[in-house]
Structure 1
Amino acid sequence: MPVLLTEAMAQSRPYGLEARVPNTSLLINLAQNAPAATISATGLFRDTAKQIVAPGIIPYAVNSELWSDGAEKTRFFALPGNAQVDFSRDGNWHFPPNSVLVKNFYFDFVKGDPASRQIVETRLLVKMGATDTWKGFSYQWNDDATDAHLLRESDRRTFFIVDTDAPDGIAQQRYFFPGPEDCSLCHREASGRVLGGRTHQLNGEYNYGAISDNQLRTLNHIGFFTEDIGEDYSQFPRWANPRDESAPIANRARAYLAANCSHCHRPGGVERGDFDARYETPLDQMRTVGISPSLGRLDTELENVRIINPGKADQSTLLLRTLNFSSFRMPPLASSVLDEDGTSLLRKWIDGMSTSTSVASESSIPEEFDLAQNYPNPFNPTTAIQYRLAEEGPVELTIFDLMGQRVRQLISGDHTAGSHQVIWDGRGDNGMSVASGVYFYRLRSSGGGITRRMLLLR
């Protein structure tokens, strides 16, 4: 059994890793070469079939995991040679040029039986030289788990899981492999690109095999950082583990939202999602409690629905979107399996809120400020969008796609108070016709912001 270090034992007990070994195998310089075509050729593993990593590649774990449809994951840092990381207690860590972050994904092919666990995917997040740009790559493992090939574009596979609770004892699991263009949808500039390698995620215990130790303490001991960060991390930020029932439920729920939502839902994130899911944002500043959803309601009969409706989880779109598998699904990418533990946690947190928690009036938007549903809807090739302004001032009317990327800036400038109408011809900013699908249009002015959904059918 691993030995768990207490604070009193910290100075006398061995660390999780005794010394650092230079990484001389997993070295990727995107300015010179693309990643290897197979995972066995990357230098990640000393033994590919057993997934034993090469010397110098450092394991780590995070306090709050992103939901990946039930996959088990392992994570590793691969810094060139003995290169070091610039530490930040509260902000982003700054990684050296050509750093590689590794994540392996495994499924139990007999539900609940770890002995049936097999690797299905490896992802590499690679820093482009000394820039702040990172590129993601996915390797899809073969059926025998002996090697994996690099994907040039996204892919989906169906895995068959032995599950006594499923019809005929077999469950089908649809799994998404991201293409290089998909990785930046979560690893955004506003979120610092690197999501897991931060103080609040690594300030916790890790089982190194013979011993468990605080990860920050171990990394500091082996010279992972450019400075000595000491051994007292009691005042360092630390996210709760959402599955740790001994932690306060609010901390667990906020950590779950931070890991699964805040890379997009934050200042500078997706423009059509204007609430702030970061862990450190006070609840009354999240723009969720008592706020009407800007993307519309999942059930139009729920007149009292809010993003968070205190004490009423079934009238809170923050929960409802995690239960939904239509275009309103959150997260919108790479998930087709319900996170039963995560959604149960959100439900308990919201239901446990007192109605006095509400921090917003029925609407933070003046009655004179309004954005109507486009007409016709669905539409092809044009649709009319009407809106009303309470006062003269700057106005923006913008079209976004499902991923929150801007498609067309319809209006940007000063408008007089009163009613207005604009026609969208189904074209993007580049003048090209956009594809059929769901789009969102958002109106912003001094009166606030409203977003609505529309459907283009070619």
Structure 2
Amino acid sequence: MRTRRILHRRTLCLCLILVSATLRAQSPVGIETRVPNTSLLIDLVNGDAPETISASGLYAQIDERVIAPGIFPFGVNTALWSDGAHKTRFFALPGDSQIEFSRDGDWAFPPNSVLVKNFHLDLVADDGSVSRQIVETRFLVKVGDTFEWKGFSYQWNEDATDAQLLFTSRTESYRTVDPADPTRSRETEYLFPAPEDCGRCHTFGVGQVLGPRTSQLNGDFDYDGVVANQLATLNHLGVFTQDIGGDYDEFPRLTDHHDESAPIADRARSYLQANCAHCHLPGGLRRTEIDLRLQTPLDEMGIVDQESGVDDLGAEDRRILRPGDPQNSVLLLRTLDLGEQRMPPVASSIIDPVGTDVLSRWITSLATPTTIAQGRSPTSSSLLSNYPNPFNASTTIRYSMTVDGPATLTLFDATGRRIRDLVQGVHLAGNHVAHWDGRDLDGTSVASGVYLVRLTTANVQQTHRLSLLK
């Protein structure tokens, strides 16, 4: 009987393995068969950009805006803020040419590749009705077999039947739904960039291509009703010069900053990567030496408790990022500014309500600054002795963390009743200090006696005794 049970368990395990493998093999792809692109072909070495979208080959039917065969739609995990505009994205490779895939770096696109982004606004009519209408299409075109890309903007006419190439920047006013309050409308000053403006964001430091990269496309996309991982779909179609396999769990992936179920730190860092890091990275802007890339550890970004090199925007003690104090963090204040200090500095005149809220909550969660003595980083996460102990007016509590992560420092009386959370939030790795003035959460002085302080992290829980004498 025991032998039969063992065989049954082994058979069951084998069946589960086979079912799991079958499910992986049957994972959906968004597009089954690749069709060569023979329509959207732009050669800037031997010619110019088309003067209209209808002449570009982007659409098979421009009146219905049916994309031509062989052009790939895609989405990004974290979108660049564009004053509430809704965007659709595509890329076109000449014929059946391929992309050299990179897990962590820039994708190498073939000559004459074209990246496409359509911008739609929710327009409000005089009678209050709302309709989503295309207003702009942008092309980013690779110049032959060089490393250079050039950008072009096309403005759609009022009937949305065609779009004209722009040679200079211009601004149009539209009555749109207010991104901060969808029940209201507002006048939106929409900027159409000139060709030379595109290079302000599409910098050489990030390979000029911002959207199509592993961290942005490692996620699901709705291919006309079929939801599938984009990397899996492109790999299935042979878009890459190499087979990248089917397991992307260890590949980089940005977090949607709208996702309330995700950790606030992941949302904020992904937002900074998508909206700021193309300028703020090593070798980027010379005015500031900060690094807002996702892979950079927080204590190496050059922002925590660092003085700002620009106007303090009214901050009392200006720092680029003051942990726990968003109102005095210039990183946030510049995204809330609509003047000369605004970030981003181009093509945006409306504050991003979700993005700024995420940044504010993240800064608030960084409860305490970190001090690490040179060459003496902590070797273990632990609650250290406080001093003085016993104490009268106040005491300093020291604790250390070996990795970035959440930590809580909680005070209890001798009966185990919670007095207050002294510290709560995400911490940098390092040696930390907190101060207790002998008061509870309401600010009332507690009585003399023995108290307990407990440090809780992801992998440590330690408790020490404190003696308060009055």
TM-score bin (small chain): 0.7 to 0.9
Please say if 1:31 is aligned against 2:45: yes
Query: Aligned to 2:100, which of 76, 80, 86?
Result: 86
Per-residue deviation, 1:164: 12
1:20 maps to which residue?
34
2:347 maps to which residue?
334
Query: Aligned to 1:313, which of 326, 340, 346?
Result: 326
2:295 maps to which residue?
280
Per-residue deviation, 1:287: 0.4
1:132 and 1:35 mapped to 2: Cα distance? Answer: 18
Q: Tell me if the contact between 1:217 and 1:231 (Cα under 8 Å) persists in the aligned partners.
A: yes
1:69 and 1:196 mapped to 2: Cα distance? Answer: 18
Q: Which amino acid aligns with 2:96?
A: N
1:75 maps to which residue?
89
Q: Tell me if the contact between 2:28 and 2:227 (Cα under 8 Å) persists in the aligned partners.
A: no
1:219 and 1:87 mapped to 2: Cα distance? Answer: 11
Q: Tell me if the contact between 1:310 and 1:357 (Cα under 8 Å) persists in the aligned partners.
A: no
Q: Which amino acid aligns with 1:331?
A: P
1:67 and 1:24 mapped to 2: Cα distance? Answer: 32
Q: Which amino acid aligns with 1:307?
A: I
Q: 1:7 to 1:280 in 2, by over 3 A?
A: farther
Q: 1:314 to 1:10 in 2, by over 3 A?
A: same
Q: Tell me if the contact between 1:304 and 1:315 (Cα under 8 Å) persists in the aligned partners.
A: yes
Query: Aligned to 2:65, which of 51, 74, 77?
Result: 51
Please say if 1:153 is aligned against 2:153: no
Relative to the length of structure 1, the TM-score reads: 0.74
Q: 1:58 to 1:7 in 2, by over 3 A?
A: farther
Q: 1:16 to 1:7 in 2, by over 3 A?
A: farther
User: Which aligned pairs between 1:267-306 and structure 2 lie closer than 5 A?
Assistant: 267-299=282-314, 302-306=315-319
Q: 1:346 to 1:358 in 2, by over 3 A?
A: farther
Query: Aligned to 1:244, which of 247, 259, 265?
Result: 259
1:116 maps to which residue?
131
Seq. identity, %: 54
Per-residue deviation, 1:348: 0.5
1:413 maps to which residue?
none
Q: Tell me if the contact between 1:289 and 1:359 (Cα under 8 Å) persists in the aligned partners.
A: no
SS across alignment from 2:369:
helix
1:211 maps to which residue?
226
SS across alignment from 1:39:
coil
User: Which aligned pairs between 1:383-398 and structure 2 lie closer than 5 A?
Assistant: none
User: Which aligned pairs between 1:289-438 and structure 2 lie closer than 5 A?
Assistant: 289-299=304-314, 302-357=315-370
Q: Which amino acid aligns with 2:279?
A: C
User: Which aligned pairs between 1:175-254 and structure 2 lie closer than 5 A?
Assistant: 175-254=190-269
Per-residue deviation, 1:46: 1.0
Q: Which amino acid aligns with 1:346?
A: L
1:96 and 1:165 mapped to 2: Cα distance? Answer: 40
1:325 and 1:162 mapped to 2: Cα distance? Answer: 19
Q: Which amino acid aligns with 1:105?
A: F
Per-residue deviation, 1:243: 0.7
Q: 1:28 to 1:311 in 2, by over 3 A?
A: same
Q: Tell me if the contact between 1:289 and 1:360 (Cα under 8 Å) persists in the aligned partners.
A: no
- Per chain length, whose mean CA-contact separation is higher, i.e. which structure has more relative contact order (CA < 8 Å, sep 6+)? 1
**Which 4+ runs in 1 deviate beyond 4 A?**
162-166, 357-361
SS across alignment from 2:88:
strand
Q: Which amino acid aligns with 2:136?
A: E
2:185 and 2:76 mapped to 1: Cα distance? Answer: 31
Which structure: larger Rg? Answer: 2
Q: 1:51 to 1:57 in 2, by over 3 A?
A: same
Please say if 1:66 is aligned against 2:80: yes
Structure 2 spans left out of the alignment, 5+ residues: 1-19, 375-470
2:322 and 2:22 mapped to 1: Cα distance? Answer: 45
Q: Tell me if the contact between 2:304 and 2:369 (Cα under 8 Å) persists in the aligned partners.
A: no
Per-residue deviation, 1:171: 1.6
2:229 and 2:25 mapped to 1: Cα distance? Answer: 12
Per-residue deviation, 1:110: 3.8
2:373 and 2:367 mapped to 1: Cα distance? Answer: 14
1:272 and 1:49 mapped to 2: Cα distance? Answer: 46
Please say if 1:173 is aligned against 2:202: no
1:358 and 1:88 mapped to 2: Cα distance? Answer: 36
2:442 maps to which residue?
none
Q: 1:53 to 1:31 in 2, by over 3 A?
A: same
Q: Tell me if the contact between 2:171 and 2:191 (Cα under 8 Å) persists in the aligned partners.
A: yes
Q: Which amino acid aligns with 2:137?
A: T
SS across alignment from 1:21:
coil
* Superposed CA offset, 1:271-309 (max 9, x none): 11211010100000000010010113112xx34221000
Q: Which amino acid aligns with 2:216?
A: Q
Q: 1:347 to 1:169 in 2, by over 3 A?
A: closer
Relative to the length of structure 2, the TM-score reads: 0.72
Per-residue deviation, 1:49: 2.4
* Superposed CA offset, 1:300-359 (max 9, x none): xx3422100001000000000000011100110000011000000000000111113467
SS across alignment from 2:333:
helix
Q: Which amino acid aligns with 1:217?
A: A
Q: Which amino acid aligns with 1:172?
A: E
1:165 and 1:342 mapped to 2: Cα distance? Answer: 11
Per-residue deviation, 1:50: 2.4
Q: Which amino acid aligns with 1:27?
A: L
2:310 and 2:317 mapped to 1: Cα distance? Answer: 15
2:257 and 2:37 mapped to 1: Cα distance? Answer: 33
Q: Which amino acid aligns with 2:208?
A: R
Structure 1 spans left out of the alignment, 5+ residues: 1-5, 362-458
1:144 and 1:240 mapped to 2: Cα distance? Answer: 37
Query: Aligned to 2:275, which of 240, 260, 268?
Result: 260
Q: 1:156 to 1:190 in 2, by over 3 A?
A: same
Per-residue deviation, 1:7: 8.6
Counting matched residue pairs gives: 353
Q: Tell me if the contact between 2:80 and 2:275 (Cα under 8 Å) persists in the aligned partners.
A: yes
